[in-house]
Structure 1
């Protein structure tokens, strides 16, 4: 079965954000299945989109985006 077509996105993240990704991937992993940092990012995108679609936490996400620690450089 052919792989799904996927788009690639490159972003610059801080060392702290990379550490959070690594920690999250480790915590979501099990002995049977290792979770990659890319899978964590995809999961986060889906979760945020779902919450925004339900009208939840919009102000919380906007506040996070205004925080200097998550802005593009």
Structure 2
């Protein structure tokens, strides 16, 4: 599955776009100026996504990669 397919599936499931997740991560204090804060661990972000949006681990990691800047 391509990275874009992951994002498309996440948006279909949650109704949230990648930019929505970026905004929510900033509001939750995980990111600052579009970058993940140095004291924030991947597990904190993936747990939030799993609990609040019901994402599986792979989809949560896709959003983490997006927030980390590994993928656009």
Higher relative contact order (CA 8 A, sep 6+): 2
Where is the strand percentage greater, Structure 1 or Structure 2? 2
Where is the helix percentage greater, Structure 1 or Structure 2? 2
Larger radius of gyration: 1
Q: Normalising to structure 1: TM-score of the pair?
A: 0.27
Q: Normalising to structure 2: TM-score of the pair?
A: 0.27
